[in-house]
Chains A and B, each alone.
Chain A
Amino acid sequence: MKYAVEVRDARRIFRTRAGMLAEERLVRAVDGVSFALPAGQVLGIVGESGCGKSTLARMILGLLPAGEGEILVDGRSLVTLDRRERARLIQPVFQDPFSSLNPRRRVRDIVALPLAAQGNIPGAQQRDRVMEMLARVGISSEMADRLPAQLSGGQRQRVAIARALVLHPRIVVCDEPTSALDVSVQAQILNLLAELRRDLQLTYLFISHNLAVVEHIATEVAVMYLGRFVEQAPVDALFRDPRHPYTRALLASVLTPEPDKGIPDVGLGDTYPDPANIPPGCRFHPRCPVAVDRCRTEAPDNLTSHGRLTECLLAGTASRT
């Protein structure tokens, strides 16, 4: 079967140094991620800051030099694609539309750039496709002549979406696309993304720290912790029956607008994860409320239970894949 995105044991290590004489630290941002995403699906990736979700996104977009492992986009290895081919297959929408749009270019030129960069699309056709795509995302033709600074945050994110879609890619990587927006605008953008996926048969990789947003838009959810997917399941199963203690803690911390419920005790303690210092055994054990002795030494990598990836030694009848 051909998948829209297939990732096999992807790893990315950054070397950092706090000062000239300081010891070099190895940051394992992505530490063995594998998944296969069928076309037309939405994989939501959730996790806290520093868990490696944005690094993974940039690897899949080809924005970082290849690390270890293999990434296939639309069935073809990412390293064999040149920039133009890649751009026709996969496109990004980033978090902050204030910094991802060139402040000196007009909206129409920003959206035309991916077409122009292809090098073989006539100008008249470029203009038509730009205006068509802008109309599709709800940007009027008067706004096409404005600069990004003359638009609101929501309008800017619409422009960023138009730019991502103007080449008709198969896959869109959305990295926190609504985090910088107000709730009333966030809902508009989420509705637009859902509508575009339906109409244009897109596949999304949707990265967010907001679980409520992911629950709303994703079909499949992966929970990332210190560089690995510690749990992955279809969205209903994950939210109805979370198996990993970290997933349970994340779900417990979602503050829904229900005034009779208080602030939950997520029971995670005060140790914070550090990707430069990944604990031995289960990487979650220092924060885990149910850890036992063997969690300190035995790594639960690639464990599945009942056909679902759950990297926890204690999750039901665990078996290795």
Chain B
Amino acid sequence: MTPVLEVSNLRVTFGTNIAAVRGVSLTVNRGETHCLVGESGCGKSVTALAIMGLLSRTARHSADIMRFHDHDLTRLSERGMARLRGDRMAMIFQEPMTSLNPAYTIGSQMAEVFERHRRVSRASALDRAAELLQRVGITAPGMRLKQYPHQLSGGLRQRVMISMALMCEPELLIADEPTTALDVTVQAQILRLLQNLQQELGLSLLLITHDLGIVARMADRVSVMYAGDIVESASANALFTAPTHPYTRGLLRCIPVPGLLRRDAPLGSIPGVVPRIASDFIGCAFRDRCTHAMPECARDVSRQRVAADHDYLCRLSPDWTRAEAA
């Protein structure tokens, strides 16, 4: 398997003392969907922005490795980054209304990306845009190109965002909560579309979401993030059949599943709230909410393996879950 994106020990801090990302490592292979899942404030979006070189100036970041194909992103100039962005790596955001410019037509916004990277005429860029709109299931693309974002429904806008991201046939697509603002029926349509496009174009997808249902249905690989760090990483199958980190297990018990859960039984829940982590924090960030916490959880925790491609960040031994099940 060829890694398209490789990140090791990524750290991002804001201001003097807020650690948003604390040593994230992940790999996205060619043609693979890697889901980064976590609750709000866990650092998943900041991770994506760091990879795309889109962090605000107030953020400081460092990484041992941040590589896209053979480009070392840690050393790339802003100019070099701008050449990759939108061309070979692209991103779609949660709220298509705020990420599209309300003052320009769909056509001119879509064409701009292509003109910039491929140095082609406006006319051929618009042809390409129409072709892609058709590709994502938009009928009458010629008319849509002349419209403004406010004239489209939420589902259509997100399709426009996706086709815009695909203008230059990127190898890596980072999608940050692409369906959170949409209705469930539209969400299913958009996710199906992403899956089909990915198979046809051999796209690598880094999908950021808080929704474990989406993760289960979309992911090849999953990384669970908590308070700026990846606490468990596994294949989708392993994560859902043998979750090992107490946080992952707690999260899975929190979601009501129609038909599987007795209705009068309370849902599992994780007590407390996600902590804000200072840069000098040591130990397991989940310990205050964990029912298995011990004094040694306040010291450094090392990553353990369940299998070759399944690791987690906790002092409990890999077979502790058997004791819990018993």
Contacts and interface: CB of A to CB of B under 8 A. Distances in A.
A257 to B, nearest CB: 4
Given A184-B254, A212-B256, A270 B139 contact: yes
A91 B195 CA distance: 44
A254 B217 contact: no
Nearest to B154: A49
Contacts of A155: 273
Interface in A249-283: 249-266, 268, 270, 272
B185 A249 contact: yes
Given A152-B273, A183-B251, A211-B258, A272 B263 contact: no
B192 A263 contact: yes
B188 A188 contact: no
Contacts of A185: 269, 273
A182 B210 contact: yes
B215 to A, nearest CB: 7
B188 A266 contact: yes
Contacts of B274: 182
B145 interface: no
Given A184-B39, A184-B250, A239 B258 contact: yes
Nearest to B240: A259
B184 interface: yes
A56 B136 CA distance: 35
Interface residues of B, number: 55
Contact of A216 (B191, B217, B263): B263
A257 B184 contact: no
A252 B251 CA distance: 23
A255 B188 contact: yes
Nearest to A218: B263
B313 interface: no
Interface in A168-200: 182-188, 190-191, 194-195
A135 to B, nearest CB: 17
A199 B269 CA distance: 20
A37 to B, nearest CB: 18
Interface string B231-270: 0000011011100000000111111111111010011111
A252 B250 CA distance: 26
Interface of A: 48-49, 152, 154-155, 182-188, 190-191, 194-195, 209, 211-213, 215-216, 235, 239, 249-266, 268, 270, 272
Interface of B: 39-40, 137-139, 153-156, 183-189, 191-192, 195, 210-219, 236-237, 239-241, 250-261, 263, 266-271, 273-274
14 contacts: A182-B40, A183-B39, A183-B210, A184-B39, A187-B254, A187-B270, A235-B263, A250-B184, A253-B187, A257-B255, A259-B236, A264-B188, A268-B189, A272-B153
